[in-house]
Amino acid sequence: MNILITGGAGFLGARLARALLAAGTLSLRGAAPRRIEQVVLADLGPAPADLAADPRVRSVQGNLLELLARRELPAAGTDLVFHLAAAVSAECEADFDLGMRSNLDTTRALLEGCRALGSTPVFVFASSLAVFGHQPGAPALGVVRDDTLPTPQGSYGIQKFIGEQLVADFTRKGFIAGRSVRPMTVAVRPGRPNGAASGFFSGMIREPLAGERARIPVGRDTPVALASPTRTVEGFVRAATASDAEWGQRTAINLPSLATTVGEMAAALEKVAGPQASALLDWQPDPAIEKLVRSWPGDVAWARARALGLKNDASFEAIVREYIAENPQAVRLSVR
């Protein structure tokens, strides 16, 4: 089996690649398990050293839209595509053309590349919870379900929703076997902050644990639907392995969610690392970020993911402790 992961050198892309390579085989679309022969990681930067050293990995660097235009990707024989590459929310609000190019034009070009293969590859599209949004003047969103009408309130969410519809139509036409999934906000991400409006959800844990200050641009009562990196990758893989009967409709599914608030996240940090950690949090509201983040749903139902056997995280404290266990070199404070 040959697999392409766009955004493959990024945090989630690399983590997904490691999970696939560790398994060694994959039961694609409910069929018998097949050996994974090659994983192509397409990204602007190089693959992490551990993945680059694996003979089953091929790293392809460059602008994805340009690589697709030159027909360098997807290669003949590609059985499965995980499309994770995207410009993130705050970037798309700041630069409309970047978002349209990275999230709409590139997705369309990748779908056309898969269509040209003529082999109906499985196509797992990482959409976003940002396809849902509270419309000004409308009632509160309430619980968002798999079949809730998307009403995105930002360019990123609109581009992701268009992507979902393209995946559904290419699937209807038989060009691909599309599976669109909506991940929750992923926390805690290691490394440096990215350009996402939701980036502070990781930063408010990561930076204090490293002994650094972190700014929180929203109020304590801000609701958020979260998932750990582990649960998120499980969702990507399960989308690829589900049979057509298990998957059901062509529409996107919500991945498992842990509902919490920013204040509860801060309390979990203090429980794990004490008051010295929570004292490093600077509560400085940013009206633009708060408006965007509060337009996203905080209570997400995920019936279709549950039917596929997926689970959510037990608690945010458990997510924090998982981050500490996986990144001990990044933790400077003593933990309980």
What's the pLDDT at 291?
A: 86
Distance CA 191, CA 229 (A): 13
- Tell me: the pLDDT tens digits for 72-109? 999 999 999 999 999 988 899 999 999 999 999 999 99
Q: Among 7, 130, 123, 19, which residue's Cα sits nearest to residue 63?
A: 7
Structure tokens at 112: 């056309």
Q: Is the pLDDT of residue 194 over 80?
A: no
What's the pLDDT at 109?
A: 98
**Collapsed DSSP state (helix, strand, coil) of residue 214:** strand
Q: Among 326, 334, 322, which residue's Cα sits nearest to residue 209?
A: 334
What's the pLDDT at 254?
A: 98
Q: Tell me the pairing of strands 223-227 and 258-261.
A: antiparallel
Structure tokens at 139: 């009632």
**Residue of 123, 125, 156, 200 marked active site:** 156
Distance CA 321, CA 230 (A): 13
Distance CA 130, CA 269 (A): 26
Q: How many CB atoms lie within 10 A of CB 204?
A: 27
Q: Is the pLDDT of residue 136 over 90?
A: no
Torsion-angle region of residue 24: left (phi > 0), alpha (psi -120 to 50) or beta? Answer: left
What's the pLDDT at 196?
A: 76
Q: First-to-last CA distance in the chain?
A: 44
What's the pLDDT at 134?
A: 84
Structure tokens at 258: 């842990």
pTM of the predicted protein model:
0.95
Q: Quick check: is 323 catalytic?
A: no
Q: Is the peptide bond before 74 cis (omega within 30 degrees of 0)?
A: yes
Burial of 79 (0-12, 13-18, 19+ CB in 10 A): buried
- Tell me: the pLDDT tens digits for 206-252? 999 999 999 999 999 999 999 999 999 999 999 999 999 999 999 99
pLDDT, mean over the chain: 96
Q: Is the pLDDT of residue 59 over 90?
A: yes
146-159: average pLDDT: 94
- Tell me: the pLDDT tens digits for 302-329? 999 999 999 999 999 999 999 999 999 9
- Tell me: the pLDDT tens digits for 2-19? 999 999 999 999 999 999
Q: Is the peptide bond before 188 cis (omega within 30 degrees of 0)?
A: yes
Confidence grade of residue 195 (pLDDT, cut at 50, 70, 90): low
What's the pLDDT at 336?
A: 87
Distance CA 165, CA 226 (A): 24
Q: Domains of the chain, with CATH numbers?
A: 2-186+227-254 (3.40.50.720), 197-224+258-299+314-330 (3.90.25.10)
One-character DSSP codes across 54-118: STTEEEEES-HHHHHHTT-SSPTT--EEEE-----HHHHHH-HHHHIIIIIIHHHHHHHHHHHHT
43-69: average pLDDT: 97
Distance CA 1, CA 205 (A): 38
Length, in residues, of the chain = 336
Type of residue at 297: P
